[in-house]
Structure 1
Amino acid sequence: MDGEGLRPLTPKYTNMAKSSWFILVELLLLLECLSHLSISQGQGYDFFYFVQQWPGSYCDTRKACCYPTTGKPAANFTIHGLWPNYNNGSYPSNCNPNSPYNATKISDLLGKMEVDWPTLACPTNGGTRFWTHEWEKHGTCSESVLDQHSYFEAALNIKNKVNLLKVLEDAGIQPNDQFYREPQIREAIKAGIGYTPAITCNTDSSKNRQILEIYLCVDASGKDLIECPKFPTRCKKPPLQFPIF
């Protein structure tokens, strides 16, 4: 009887035990991967591009421009957007169709947005279409960190910290239709704010390349400037015109 109680497993049962062990290990590894994926999806991005545009260049593009219903914006850089991005250069978009833009949630910010985040799209409008697009395409992808109010407020706060026009004018780079080298512009901004920008451009009807947008990078909290993990395509053919607006 004792001998039968200690009888070794047959090859059949040994193989079944090994298979069960391997399945258990694979399940544990899968659960660990899903856990990491869930954490990653909770934030859904690595950093933000904070993008400002020069209205004089925007209005010189083939699409032209229309002033908002509040009137011609000031001759200053204005916000284009605060865009979540991944470190590899790709980006999420339209992340939550169940979170539409709602002006009542940012009613206390609208006056500031009309100044710092105006629309130049045609036909003339008050900005609602522009802000709706920015929130639904980009803002919803940061919703785990920034709700709608916090998202727009974060962009406005960064704009207040970064006075690009003053930085450039202090370096002798002015919106006077003159031409400047891209490295000259980039180094002036880096010296003025401490972080390296990326500069994108447009081409006007005279085929002049112009300063269109300035990209800076912001950490995933939407609060602090950082060095960009990845730059967008920059203007590589100098010089760049800084048009009057």
Structure 2
Amino acid sequence: MAPIKTIPTAFIVFLGLCSQALAAKDFDYYSLVVMWPPSYCYQTKAGCCLPTTGKPAKDFFITGLQTYDSTTGAAVTKCKKSNFYISELSDLTDELNAYWSTIKCPSSNAHRYWKNSWKTYGVCSGLSQHDYFKTALELRSKLNLLSIFTSNGIVPSGENFYKVEHIKKVIEENLGVTVGIQCSKNLWDEWQLYQLHICFNKDASKIISCPQLKSYTCGDEVTFGLFNYDMLSPAPETIRMYTGEGSAVIGHKFILGKDVESSFLKL
């Protein structure tokens, strides 16, 4: 029988390092995902609730700063294991509560969403936990999307519909790039603007057209709902009323137009 040869320890270590290098993930652009909060509220009868951290900003919320590979179009996730420490975000907490909040019922805070984003995408960014969230907040602020929309006649309202092509044109003219527009259906089977996917280069220094745009289904026109703090309640009562003036929102009661004298139907 031939003698059994022992594999040198150094060679085993070398193979291990090569294996890790081959398995290592990398990304080459970010996708900042922002959500229009009323669209979340209008999607289900569950409505939305005031966060335990207080009133969020009446603006687009961050829902993620995601890491992507432009060659494959796939998200680059969970590159390594890293704990999440809420204490590292102490100087960012107020801004995170305002712009990276949760309005899901029952009322809660967004800590678990921050943790999930860090452990899924942040660990692939090459940034510290603090800098990852600081970068997301800075990118959202620089975009100033709500101001761009309102200055171009896309105003939050319970009654107006806006052409998706017009929204795309406004974004392209003001940001100079193409972004992903994601829509959803509200309780009345109307298309509404839900989320925007806006891309940045690897060091987050420059906005870019998204290299790989997912195909999202939208109607030709969408609503851009009014954000009212009264709609954030522990147990919103979703009511459809008929008036003569078109749509509006009173508290957490949704009003859609026909005859103000008519009775209303509880969904």
TM-score computed with the length of structure 1 as normaliser: 0.78
1:222 aligned onto 2:204? yes
Q: Counterparts of 1:121 and 1:167 in 2: how far apart (Å)?
A: 27
In structure 2, the partner of 1:148 is 129
In structure 1, the partner of 2:34 is 52
1:174 aligned onto 2:155? yes
SS of 1:206 mapped into structure 2: coil
1:65 aligned onto 2:66? no
1:94 aligned onto 2:78? yes
Matched-pair contact (CA < 8 Å) for 1:195–1:226: yes
Q: Counterparts of 1:106 and 1:205 in 2: how far apart (Å)?
A: 37
1:82 aligned onto 2:65? yes
Structure 1, 53-62 or 222-231: larger mean CA deviation: 222-231
Residue 117 of structure 2: which of 87, 109, 134 is its match? 134
Matched-pair contact (CA < 8 Å) for 2:184–2:218: no
Identity among equivalent pairs (%): 32
**1:40 Cα deviation (Å)?**
9.0
Q: Which has the higher helix share?
A: 1
What is the RMSD of the two structures over their aligned residues, measured on CA atoms? 2.1
Q: Which has the higher strand share?
A: 2
Q: Which amino acid aligns with 1:191?
A: E
> Map of 1:173-192 to 2, 5 A cutoff?
173-177=154-158, 178-192=160-174
**1:39 Cα deviation (Å)?**
8.6
In structure 2, the partner of 1:19 is none
What's the CA shift string for 1:57-97, capped at 9, x where partnerless? 0111225322211333232111111000111221122333x
| Structure with the greater alpha carbon radius of gyration | 1
Matched-pair contact (CA < 8 Å) for 1:101–1:136: yes
SS of 2:193 mapped into structure 1: strand
Matched-pair contact (CA < 8 Å) for 1:182–1:235: no
Unaligned runs of 5+ in 2: 1-14, 228-267
Q: Counterparts of 1:238 and 1:56 in 2: how far apart (Å)?
A: 20
In structure 2, the partner of 1:197 is 179
> Map of 1:16-55 to 2, 5 A cutoff?
38=21, 41=24, 44-55=26-37
**Residues 1:182 and 1:226: Cα distance change in structure 2 (over 3 Å):** same
TM-score computed with the length of structure 2 as normaliser: 0.72
Q: Which amino acid aligns with 1:136?
A: K
In structure 2, the partner of 1:158 is 139
Unaligned runs of 5+ in 1: 1-30
Q: Tell me the matched-pair count.
A: 208
Q: Counterparts of 2:145 and 2:221 in 1: how far apart (Å)?
A: 19
SS of 1:212 mapped into structure 2: strand
Q: Counterparts of 1:201 and 1:215 in 2: how far apart (Å)?
A: 11
Matched-pair contact (CA < 8 Å) for 1:57–1:243: yes
Q: Which amino acid aligns with 1:114?
A: N
In structure 1, the partner of 2:258 is none
After TM superposition, where is structure 1 displaced by more than 6 Å over at least 4 residues in a row? none
Residue 103 of structure 1: which of 76, 86, 91 is its match? 86
SS of 2:118 mapped into structure 1: helix
